Amino acid sequence: MELEVDEKDLRSAGAELLTDGRRGLRIGGWEIESRNRSILTSLALQQWEQNLQTCHLPEMIFGESCLVLKHVGSGTKIHFNAFDALAGWKQEGLPPVEVPAAAKWKFRSKPFQQVILDYDYTFTTPYCGSEMVELDADKRESGEISGGSSGLHWEDCEEQLDVAALALKEPILFYDEVVLYEDELADNGVSLVTVKVRVMPSSWFLLLRFWVFEQLRVDGVLMRLRDTRMHCVFDESANPVILRERCWREGTFQALSANGYPTDSASYSDPSIISQRLPVIMHQTQKLRVPGNL
């Protein structure tokens, strides 16, 4: 989605677009950049298989695509990428779910080969982002902090995302959606990881979403939604605070139908429609106090 931004809105917010062909902007002490690139080449895919120690990876991996939010003064960097998301899938190691007999043919690399699905082929990940403290060369040479270290700490909290503030009609200075990886589950559904970012004059907000919609045996439909939302208000007079909300939902079409929801399963393929209907299995709110300028 290409967003046309009014130059007056940018100037009024004290923001400036990134240069040198980069997509993003600087605002409120933050540098926010998104990159949408093509899928991995076969050679790069082999390297990823070695690094992740697996021969099973999604059909489409956008390995060079990412979203990066960096607090310039402190070097705090929040970023989202496919490799770390798949590392989370590999580490969690959920058991495989049942698939229809017809779909098993899609997993066979040779005729009459026996199919043993001993891995989570939905590529469900607990990934909620990556973070680090990244200093420029001058600060590293002075010995303040080694570049690329992660000394950041998320703490549990009772605060909730300010929905009213996010609903205010502010100008949108920057918006983008980045796909990290996608798989069509043997033409039987979809597994998808995306991250969307929206920047307003007062704050930035993002949604990282893992979504799987899969046809199972006996006309079942598995729906699994894992959302991570982050919100940070611009306040250059104080150290920024990032609020993070994680919510996991999961259920089946039959269970929703039994509870009186419409039986048109096609409508459930849209996570925006189904998100409030699926049972919550995990909810957590945390905050990160960004260190002062270094």
Q: What is the pLDDT along the chain (294 residues), one digit of tens a residue?
A: 567 788 999 999 999 999 999 999 999 999 999 999 999 999 999 999 999 999 999 999 999 999 999 999 999 999 999 999 999 999 998 988 765 544 554 555 555 555 567 789 899 999 999 999 987 655 544 444 444 456 689 999 999 998 888 988 899 999 999 999 999 987 778 899 999 999 999 999 999 999 998 765 445 678 899 999 999 999 876 789 999 999 999 988 777 666 666 655 556 667 887 777 889 999 999 999 998 765
- CA separation for the pair 199, 206 (Å, rounded): 9
Three-state DSSP class for 7? helix
Predicted confidence at residue 258, as pLDDT, reads 66
Q: Report the DSSP pairing between strands 203-215 and 189-199.
A: antiparallel
- CA separation for the pair 152, 206 (Å, rounded): 19
Q: Please name the residues in contact with 224: beta carbons below 8 A apart, sequence gap of 6 or more.
A: 122, 124, 210, 211, 212, 248, 249, 250
Three-state DSSP class for 151? coil
The structural domains of the chain, with segments of one domain joined by +, span: 7-134+153-289
Closest CA to 207 of 267, 271, 124: 271
Kindly list the distances between the CA atom of residue 5 and the CA atoms of 10, 161, 172, 173, 232, in Å, as whole numbers in the listed order.
Answer: 8, 26, 7, 6, 21
